[in-house]
Chains A and B, each alone.
Chain A
Amino acid sequence: EPEVTQTPSHQVTQMGQEVILRCVPISNHLYFYWYRQILGQKVEFLVSFYNNEISEKSEIFDDQFSVERPDGSNFTLKIRSTKLEDSAMYFCASSDRDITTDTQYFGPGTRLTVL
């Protein structure tokens, strides 16, 4: 069964550094998402992406964040200048959003630790 994959599984970085989190969505999916989960808290929506552009973003997704689909398979989240409070698990999800379901399939996550 196809799955969403993410790399790296764990990223440690210094405050102020740039990080790029990578995701490979399920191959026939067209809708892509990033969520984050601070330890022990709920999953929070960051951004949705369709047809090579952002379709919606949350208040969390400020100018320090950007997303890109650089080729036909990868979907990336970049944080330009990381802050301590960016430490969290970041999940990528994808969906084909056909007429019967909005099912989103989540990747295994990247744990980002900002020191």
Chain B
Amino acid sequence: GENVEQHPSTLSVQEGDSAVIKCTYSDSASNYFPWYKQELGKRPQLIIDIRSNVGEKKDQRIAVTLNKTAKHFSLHITETQPEDSAVYFCAANTNSNTGKLIFGQGTTLQVKP
């Protein structure tokens, strides 16, 4: 069935280091991959997304890479700051064309000052 696997479940880095979170998806028809940041008790906030017609997208300190052949995509955060600490979710759409998103299990990122 439709599934998105996300690793690691927790990640602790020093301020200024890079952080990488990886996801794999099962539906080969998926063509849209957003990343959401969720702070405690808050709504998921879209931070970056990528469509399947590109392999990489960058927005300041955040980048996402996509390997359609291997069905995996990754979030890269450079020069991490304490305010980057949050839970990050990857997601993928499905072949149903309804916009439904399947989410990964989430990664709790802690950036230590």
Partners in one complex: yes
Q: Are B99 and A95 in contact (CB under 8 A)?
A: yes
Alpha-carbon gap, A107 to B42, bound state (A)? 9
From 38 to 76 in chain A, residues with beta carbon under 8 angstroms from any chain B beta carbon are 41-45, 48, 50, 55-56
From 77 to 97 in chain B, residues with beta carbon under 8 angstroms from any chain A beta carbon are 89, 91, 93, 96
Q: B96-113 CB contact bits vs A (8 Å, 1 = yes)? A: 101111111110000000
Alpha-carbon gap, A95 to B98, bound state (A)? 11
Chain B CB within 8 A of A109 CB: yes
Alpha-carbon gap, A33 to B93, bound state (A)? 13
Distance to closest chain B CB from A79 (angstroms): 20
Chain B CB within 8 A of A11 CB: no
Given contacts A43-B89, A101-B49, A103-B49, contact A108 B42 (CB under 8 A): yes
Partner of B102, one of A45, A55, A91, A101: A45
Given contacts A43-B89, A44-B103, contact A55 B98 (CB under 8 A): yes
> In the complex, which range does the number of interface residues on chain B fall in?
20 to 34
Partner of A103, one of B46, B96, B103, B104: B46
Q: Enumerate chain B residues within 8 angstroms of A43, measured Cβ to Cβ.
A: 36, 44, 89, 91, 101, 103
> In the complex, which range does the number of interface residues on chain A fall in?
20 to 34
Given contacts A42-B106, A102-B93, contact A97 B43 (CB under 8 A): no
A-B contact pairs, 22 of them (CB 8 A): A31-B98, A42-B89, A42-B104, A43-B91, A43-B103, A45-B100, A45-B101, A48-B100, A50-B98, A56-B98, A91-B44, A101-B32, A101-B49, A101-B51, A102-B32, A102-B34, A104-B34, A104-B46, A104-B101, A106-B43, A107-B43, A109-B43
Chain B residues proximal to chain A, CB less than 8 Å: 32, 34, 36, 42-46, 49, 51, 89, 91, 93, 96, 98-106
Chain A residues proximal to chain B, CB less than 8 Å: 31, 33, 35, 41-45, 48, 50, 55-56, 91, 95, 97, 100-109
